[in-house]
Amino acid sequence: MLQGRTTSDRLDPLAAVLHDEGLTDLLRIHLAEPEEKQREGKQLQPELVPALLGAYLDLESVRHDFPVLLVEDRADTPVISLASIIDGILDQVAVSGAEAEALRAHVYRLEASIKRLTKGKRAQRLSELWTLATEQVVARSERPDQIRASLDSVKADLAHDGRLISCGPHSARQIFEHAWWPIQAQRAESERVAVEELIARLSEVLESERARSPKSTSPEALEAAMGGEHAGGIDFKALSTLLRGASQSRPMPAKRLKRLRVASKVLKSERALLPSPGGNGKRRRRDRRRAGTCHSCAEAVELFDTELKRRVELLRAIRVASLELENRYHEERHDTFFKTFGPEQLTSEDYRALPPLLVFLDGENLSDAEKSTLIEILGSDMPVKVLLEIKQLSVSTSSNAPPGSSTEWTQQIAAMATSMGEAFVMQTAASHLPQLAAEIVAGLGREGPALFCIYTGPDVPPASVPHYLNCASAVESRAFPSFVYDPDRGDDLASRYSLRGSPQPDRDWPEHCYDYETADSQEASENLVFTCVDFLMLEPRSRQHFVIVPQSRWHANMVPMAEYLTLSRQGSIDKVPFVYLIDSEDRVHRVVVRRALVPFARKCLASWKRLQELGGVRNSHAIRLLEEQRARLEEEHQRAIEELDLTRPAQAEEPMAEPVPAEAEAPEEIEEAPAPEVSTPSDQAFIDTEFCTTCDDCIDRNAAMFGYNDAKQAFIKDVTAGTYRELVEAAENCPVCIIHPGQPLDPSEPGLEELKKRAAAFD
């Protein structure tokens, strides 16, 4: 019976499809193979882009994180965006009023001019570009002298200088190389200071011993040391006898003297290899080459093994010297140990403190052997830092892989690396590197291995989309989410994981308001989500999976891609997923998504949800625990009410009133009290305060609308201090579902119909 009902339910939508020719055609497009795209619809034009990207195509008019300055004098902050530099300068402007506004406008025009000069050219210094941009702004001004003076005065507030680079296929490597050298210089300087201090202490001991030796007090040695004009009248033979008689200490044992001399020789050899402060340009370039960069993991392992042999000798010398200087060296105990001293005697800390290496890898050219070596490095204690550059994210078209599956191994390696050991892991796109400058420094400067998995975009991105926008879209769409795993921040996942760089981390997909004009010239807006399928439209190899359909063929069963992914298999059987595109004239189009992309989208969403849990967002264990606690509290509350009813004393029965005689005087007429109103569900927003778990989510969202009582449990402080959307979103994100949005106060707020549907689940 159950099977019959299921079959019937399945046939109903199919029967409806068979009687709907328009829907049948759309489903045929969705289910067809890419080879049939020309027959089923218009080809996707290269200038078509996701609708939400339309407002950002002209990056020169949009302030963003690029270009960036490669700062020369701050190792802790290797890069600063030009926008941040301009904002910092304007914050220091002393003038006010109209004069300040005019200066601000000139500086913003200067910033736009610098961005144009930086685009597509070799890196130039900011100070040079500032001068060139000033001339361009002045040339277009009606008051050139005044504007030049203003911009020159602002230039005096530039706190840093260096090369300015735009976002391109090589910007990630430029940023990492720039951040790498100062960190290695600081490490080498610290090591040089420690080595020189140890050498100085050994030299004092050896010099003191040499001064006591018979050879140094011989008449010949004394005459050589004190010869010249000061030697007249001195009996060096008598002086030698006197000094030898005055020496009461025994000479140093020969074995100990040899150990000290060998240790001193090894340390001096190491000092010669370390960079010296204030060296000339040629010496600095040589020091940089020694800082250790390579282009394969196999090369890095080979260099590490070579360095390890040399460092074993250095560590032996350091430990022998330290024991001798502290008079703690015991020949019977230490001679055998240091005679067999080798790599197996090194601790994990010793390995991680070895000179680090930086490896540059191209994700598209990794052999199986190279992948295996990378895994070996990430699971070890080797201080190897790997920059893995990913140029393309695509859906597999191989006949050996299921439709829509991703065979890009590089898209999974970052998540895999977090479970291999104590490796630092960062995954993001080149567009987001300025935001994560501090994390870059932390990863490059720490001891032990590190992996930086960076989406750099194709060498030649689509002509209609700037390189920065292509990279940013990979992160925005969850196709390549941004996160950082730093083992040095703590012992638990809550401390180690961070979704830094990923927008709207509490949502499945980022959502934005899209404003547009209808066919009858009316202004309208709609909330659109940006999914990994939207991003794939920027990948030339994936555009075959999209088919544009004219508005005359739109159908009620066409659903946005994000909504389609929430449907069950049964619920999606008669639905056609689509995404919005715009053309060069800002006209909106619907594009049907072929089924080949659906498994890929589901995998991206599943991977993102796993990252959310690791990052502390929508943690299933925490939600389950909160639900259990809420059920327990409700049960205890109900039990307390029942116990209160049982213990309440029963009211005594009132005696029956005696009839009033007819001749008795009628009592004064008493005004009848109004009947109590029957309570109805309130349309106003409220919170079940007693069940609040003090998670801070609603407070962080809008502290003016939400507040805490004395018990630090949430209540609605001022419902007019925010929008109805904020109420609904707070309700959706509340882990214990105690926020009830009620009805909107402002009937003109955009998107109310959708918001009221979402709010109904909580009222």
| 3-class SS string, 630-648 | HHHHHHHHHHHHHHHHHHC
Distance CA 439, CA 442 (A): 5
609-658: pLDDT as tens digits:
888 888 877 666 666 677 777 777 777 777 777 777 666 655 444 454 45
Contacts of 365 by beta carbon, 8 Å cutoff, 6+ apart: none
pLDDT score for 281:
45
Q: Sign of the C-alpha dihedral, residues 454, 459, 462, 468? A: positive
Looking at per-residue confidence, does 306 or 674 come out higher?
A: 306
Is the pLDDT confidence value at 493 over 50? yes
Contacts of 753 by beta carbon, 8 Å cutoff, 6+ apart: none
pLDDT score for 563:
92
Query: Within a 10 A sphere around the Cβ of 5, how many other Cβ atoms?
Result: 9
Phi, psi of 464 (to 5 degrees): -85, -10
Distance CA 412, CA 374 (A): 13
Distance CA 459, CA 437 (A): 23
Distance CA 336, CA 326 (A): 19
Is the pLDDT confidence value at 761 over 60? yes
Looking at per-residue confidence, does 99 or 719 come out higher?
A: 719
pLDDT score for 579:
92
Q: Sign of the C-alpha dihedral, residues 643, 644, 645, 651? A: positive
What whole-number percentage of the chain has pLDDT above 70? 77
Dig out the tokens for 642 from the structure: 């029942």
pLDDT score for 527:
87
Do 517 and 524 contact (CB within 8 A), yes or no? yes
Looking at per-residue confidence, does 218 or 311 come out higher?
A: 311
Looking at per-residue confidence, does 475 or 495 come out higher?
A: 475
Helix (H) or strand (E) holding 283: helix 281-290
The highest-level CATH class for domain 681-763 is alpha beta
pLDDT-wise least confident of 228-232, 331-335, 390-394, 686-690: 228-232
Q: At what angle do helices 331-339 and 297-325 cross, to 10 degrees?
A: 170
DSSP letter, residue 399:
T
pLDDT-wise least confident of 66-75, 148-157, 551-560: 148-157
Is the pLDDT confidence value at 677 over 50? no
What is the rounded average pLDDT of the residues 12-21? 62
Q: Highest mean pLDDT: which of 431-445, 561-575, 650-664, 737-751?
A: 431-445
Helix (H) or strand (E) holding 468: helix 467-476
Calculate the alpha carbon distances from 92 to 86, 108, 129, 444 in Å: 10, 15, 21, 33
What is the rounded average pLDDT of the residues 533-545? 85
Calculate the alpha carbon distances from 481 to 363, 486, 605, 631 in Å: 17, 16, 10, 35
Contacts of 421 by beta carbon, 8 Å cutoff, 6+ apart: 378, 379, 380, 449
In the chain, where the domains are located: 2-44+508-614, 67-165, 180-220+253-349, 356-489, 681-763
pLDDT score for 477:
93
Mean pLDDT of the chain: 78
**DSSP-H helix ranges across 588-741:** 598-614, 620-647, 697-701, 724-733
Q: Sign of the C-alpha dihedral, residues 119, 123, 124, 130? A: positive
325-351: pLDDT as tens digits:
888 888 888 888 888 888 888 887 777
Contacts of 324 by beta carbon, 8 Å cutoff, 6+ apart: 205, 256, 259, 260, 263
Model confidence pTM above 0.75: no
What is the rounded average pLDDT of the residues 417-432? 90
Confidence grade of residue 441 (pLDDT, cut at 50, 70, 90): very high
pLDDT score for 530:
94
Distance CA 364, CA 459 (A): 12
pLDDT score for 2:
31
Do 268 and 199 contact (CB within 8 A), yes or no? yes
